[in-house]
Amino acid sequence: MKLHRLIFCVATLAVVAAWSVSSDVSAADRKAKVLFVSQSAGFRHGSVNRGGKELAPAEIAMTQLGQQTGLFDVHCTQDCAADFTKENLQKYDMVMFYTTGKLPIAEADLDYFFQEWLTQKGHGVVGFHSATDTFKDYKPYWDMIGGSFDGHPWGSGTTVTVSVHEPNHPAMKAFGGSEFQIKDEIYQYKNWQPEKVRVLMSLDMSKCKPSKPYHVPLAWVKDYGKGRMFYTNLGHNEGTWTDKRFIESVTGGIRWVMGLEEADATPNPELSAKENEKAKAAASK
């Protein structure tokens, strides 16, 4: 009997071991493959400056986030000419941009990216901060990301007050309610098309200095064909990349882009119109 029990135990362990190995393999299969592009063809931020090290602060943050959540594997590149090609893009589910300027990408590869790659279900873009200070004269890019950098009246040392319009959105839960403050550099935009994006948070002009008489959005989402796009203005300061709220917000945005969480991406231009009016009223005080 004892031998039978031993055999039973060993057999059970073997089954459990085999099951856990196979579930690990399938979990690995489901991991998204991310290409994190942080080449600076214009201004180079400290957050993407490798400074002789293997990875920059933003790259370290995203690599660790992928490992800690088990959601994705990141390949970091600052060499678009080599890595942002039709052939290479096919290995990835998501592209993250923390870039500036006119990146050295061939026209045919850009066409493929906007017309085919990003329109596919399961594919998506996450844009950080100066992703909107990239390809400002190239419409397919700014039309995809949602707007273009047009100055930053709120510098990196400014603490701003932010209104969260959808505190329950996967990318907004981290901020713990309808308002928060953060020290970071905040952009205003040209090429802004409120009718094409769903704004998730904006500056509260009644509590920001300087107070400008127009809406300044801080994060938004949009559908792009069957693909998805999440953009956040935050991330200029290196300190933002170790701010738990920012990392959790980005995690939520990534989960939405991956289709792990659902949330409305219907454009909300009425919100931009309302925020414009509120900003005008605040600035005239």
CB atoms closer than 10 angstroms to residue 258: 21
| Cβ at position 102, least distance to Zn ion in Å | 17
CA distance to 149, 181, 208, 243, per residue, from 161 (Å): 20, 5, 6, 16
DSSP string, 220-271: EEEEETTEEEEEES--SSGGGGG-HHHHHHHHHHHHHHHTSS-------HHH
Neighbours of 163 (CB within 10 A): 19
* Residue closest to Zn ion when measured from CB atoms: 236
Query: Smallest distance, Å, CB 45 to Zn ion?
Result: 5
Interface residues toward Zn ion, by CB under 5 A:
185, 236
Indicate if the alpha-carbon torsion angle 131, 132, 133, 135 is positive or negative: positive
Minimum Å distance from CB 249 to Zn ion?
Answer: 17
Chain centre to alpha carbon of residue 186: 16
In the complex with Zn ion, the residue whose CB is nearer, 59 or 185, is: 185
- Please report how close the Cβ of residue 263 comes to Zn ion at its closest, in angstroms: 27
Give the residue with the Cβ less far from Zn ion, 129 or 255. 129
Question: How near is the Cβ of 152 to Zn ion at its closest, in Å?
Answer: 6
Please state, in angstroms and rounded to a whole number, the distance separating the CA atoms of residues 214 and 202.
Answer: 11
Q: Is 218 exposed, middle or buried (0-12, 13-18, 19+ CB in 10 A)?
A: buried
Q: Which is nearer to Zn ion, 166 or 185 (CB)?
A: 185
Pick the closer one to Zn ion by CB: 177 or 210: 210
In order of 15, 20, 44, 189, the CA distances from 11 in angstroms are: 6, 14, 58, 64
Non-local CB neighbours of 6 within 8 Å, separated by 6+ positions: none
**Of 92 and 128, which has the nearer Cβ to Zn ion?**
128
DSSP H or E run through 7? helix 2-30
> Rounded to the nearest whole angstrom, what is the least distance from the CB of residue 100 to Zn ion in the complex?
9
Q: Which is nearer to Zn ion, 38 or 268 (CB)?
A: 38
132/268 with CB nearer Zn ion: 132
Residue 129 beta carbon to Zn ion: minimum distance, rounded to whole angstroms:
6
DSSP 101: B
Looking at the Cβ atoms of 185 and 243, the one nearer to Zn ion is 185
Instruction: Give the Cβ contact number of residue 200 at 10 Å.
Output: 29
**Pairwise CA distance, residues 62 & 68, whole Å:** 10
* Closest distance to Zn ion from the beta carbon of 130 (Å): 6
